[in-house]
Amino acid sequence: MFFDKSEFEFAEHLESNWLLIRQELEQLQQRHFVSWPEKFLYEKGWDVFGLYAFGRKLEDNCRLCPETTRLVEMIPGMTTTGFSSLKPGTHIKPHVGYSKAVLRCHLGLIVPEGCTLRVGNQTRNWQEGKCFIFDDTVEHEAWNRADKTRIVLLIDFNNPSVTLNYQSQATCPGEIAKVIQNLTHSSV
């Protein structure tokens, strides 16, 4: 289920600064990205560069993207942020998120033709400089049918319609927690 982005003030702010965010992204090297740990969701080609992971700031990565970090730190209830990269031919299989405590935002940064996201029974194409906001506990999947890599800024933030008590119960899955632990104790 997609939400009307106008309900979230930060979306307009991200969209008006998307070229600045993309500029920092373009300064990163492929070696800075790591494969998404949940390999059962895809065969190949899904890499991420995290800035925040389940509330933990990845200091070394944030130093590489200071303006992006500044922008996302202004988002109320932001818990996770990073660049999500799908190489050509990548399909992220249908799956659901971990907690209704958060909503997800994607800001299109590098989006070739043929990149789509299905949430429930709605399918949309990403657009450069535009945000999607959706509930990732609704079954969703993503494709890159293009011949170039697609990259979005992915942001999880507290769901304003969920109580604070429930938000505090959102936990990080074990597989992902191990990756976060490694990222917070190694330099980029």
Q: How confident is the model at residue 161 (pLDDT cuts 50, 70, 90)?
A: confident
R_g over Cα of the chain: 15
The rounded distance, in Å, linking the Cα atoms of 57 and 79 is 9
Q: Are 125 and 116 in contact (CB under 8 A)?
A: yes
Name which residue leads in pLDDT, 76 or 177: 76
**pLDDT greater than 60 at residue 133:** yes
pLDDT tens digits along 58-73: 999 999 999 999 999 9
The rounded distance, in Å, linking the Cα atoms of 125 and 114 is 7
Mean pLDDT of 20-31: 94
The predicted pLDDT at position 169 comes to 45
The rounded distance, in Å, linking the Cα atoms of 72 and 138 is 24
Mean pLDDT of 85-92: 96
Q: How confident is the model at residue 29 (pLDDT cuts 50, 70, 90)?
A: confident
What region does 56 belong to: left with phi over 0, alpha with psi -120 to 50, or beta? beta
The predicted pLDDT at position 43 comes to 82
